[in-house]
Amino acid sequence: MPKLSIDYSMDQDTMVYALYSEGFRVGGINRANRRALWDRTLWGQEWDPDTLKNFEIGYRSRWADSTVQVNVTAFYMDWKDFQHEVVDPSVGDCVYPEEEPTCSPPPGETRPPQTDPNVPWHASNSLTLPWLSIAGNVGDAHSAGITGEVDWIPSERWRIGANAMWLEAEIDSVSSGPEAGIEPGRQLPSTPEFQGAAWATYTWPVNFISGGELFLRGQVSYMGETETNLVAFGLDTTDPNFINHSYTIADLRLGLIAADGSWQIDLYVNNVTDERAEIDQGCKFCYQWGRSGEYEHWQQVYTNRPREFGIRFYARWGE
Q: Residue 283: what pLDDT?
A: 75
| Domain span including residue 235 | 189-319
Regarding predicted confidence, which is higher, 319 or 165?
165
The pLDDT of residue 47 is above 70: yes
Give which of 254, 258, 257, 256 is closest to 268, Cα–Cα.
254
Q: Is residue 133 part of a domain?
A: no
Q: Residue 109: what pLDDT?
A: 52
Q: Residue 86: what pLDDT?
A: 81
Question: What average pLDDT score do residues 229-244 get?
Answer: 85
Q: Is residue 103 part of a domain?
A: no
The pLDDT of residue 163 is above 70: yes
31 pLDDT tier (thresholds 50, 70, 90): confident
282 pLDDT tier (thresholds 50, 70, 90): confident
User: Which of 6-10, 32-36, 296-300 tops mean pLDDT?
Assistant: 6-10
Q: Residue 243: what pLDDT?
A: 93
The pLDDT of residue 184 is above 50: yes
Give which of 197, 143, 196 is closest to 172, Cα–Cα.
143
284 pLDDT tier (thresholds 50, 70, 90): low
The pLDDT of residue 130 is above 50: yes
Average pLDDT, the chain: 85
The 3-class SS string of the chain reads: CCEEEEEEEEECCEEEEEEEEEEEECCEECCCCCCCCCCCCCCCCEECCEEEEEEEEEEEEEECCCCEEEEEEEEEEEEEEEEEEEECCCCCCCCCCCCCCCCCCCCCCCCCCCCCCCCCHHHCHHHCCCCCEEEEEEEEEEEEEEEEEEEECCCCCEEEEEEEEEEEEEEEEECCCHHHCCCCCCECCCCCCEEEEEEEEEEEECCCCCCCEEEEEEEEEEECCEECCCCCCCCCCCCCCCEECCEEEEEEEEEEECCCCCEEEEEEEECCCCCCCCCEECCCCCCCCCCECCECCCCCEECCCCCEEEEEEEECCCC
44 pLDDT tier (thresholds 50, 70, 90): confident
95 pLDDT tier (thresholds 50, 70, 90): very low
Q: Is residue 294 part of a domain?
A: yes
Q: Is residue 209 part of a domain?
A: yes
State the total domains in the chain.
1
294 pLDDT tier (thresholds 50, 70, 90): low
The pLDDT of residue 226 is above 70: yes
Question: What average pLDDT score do residues 182-206 get?
Answer: 96
Regarding predicted confidence, which is higher, 317 or 31?
317
240 pLDDT tier (thresholds 50, 70, 90): confident
Q: Is residue 235 part of a domain?
A: yes
The pLDDT of residue 110 is above 60: no
Question: What average pLDDT score do residues 254-271 get?
Answer: 96
Q: Is residue 33 part of a domain?
A: no
Regarding predicted confidence, which is higher, 88 or 8?
8
Q: Is residue 167 part of a domain?
A: no
Ranking 28-32, 172-176, 292-296 by mean pLDDT, the lowest is 292-296
Question: What average pLDDT score do residues 107-130 get?
Answer: 47
- 49 phi and psi angles, rounded to 5 deg: -65, 150
Question: What average pLDDT score do residues 52-63 get?
Answer: 98
Q: Residue 124: what pLDDT?
A: 41
Q: Is residue 204 part of a domain?
A: yes
